[in-house]
Structure 1
């Protein structure tokens, strides 16, 4: 499955776009426009996404990769 397919599936399941997740992470103090803030661990974000959006581990890690800037929309 491509990275974009993960993002599309997440949006279908949650109604939230990648931009929405960036904004939510920013409001929660996890990230800013440059990426994750210092001291923020992937596990903390994964736990949040599992709790609030019922995402599985793989889909939550896709959002982490997006927030870190490791991957971006349209990536395979």
Structure 2
């Protein structure tokens, strides 16, 4: 599955866009201006997204990559 396909499926499941997750991450203290803080590990983001949005591991990792700046 392509990165964009992950984001499309996440939007279908949650109703949220990439920018919405960046804002939420900022509010939770995981990131600043949508960029993940260096001390935040993937596991923290995955746990948050699984608990709050019932996302699977792969979908949560796509959001992690987005926040980390690995993918846009």
TM more than 0.5: yes
The yes-or-no answer on 1:68 pairing with 2:45 is no
34-43 or 13-22, larger mean C-alpha shift: 34-43
Alignment partners' CA distance in 2, 1:34 and 1:51: 20
CA deviation string 1:55-75 (max 9, x = no partner):
000000000000000001xxx
In 1, the alpha carbon distance for the partners of 2:62 and 2:12 equals 14
3-state SS, counterpart of residue 25 of structure 1: helix
Task: Give 1 or 2: higher helix fraction.
Answer: 2
Counterpart-to-counterpart distance in 2, 1:23 and 1:34:
6
- Unaligned stretches of 5+ in structure 2? none
Measured in 2, the distance between the counterparts of 1:64 and 1:33 equals 14
TM-score, with normalisation over the residues of structure 2?
0.95
Residue matched to 2:29:
29
- What is the alpha-carbon distance in structure 1 between the residues aligned to residue 63 and residue 38 of structure 2? 17
TM-score scaled to structure 1, two decimals? Answer: 0.90
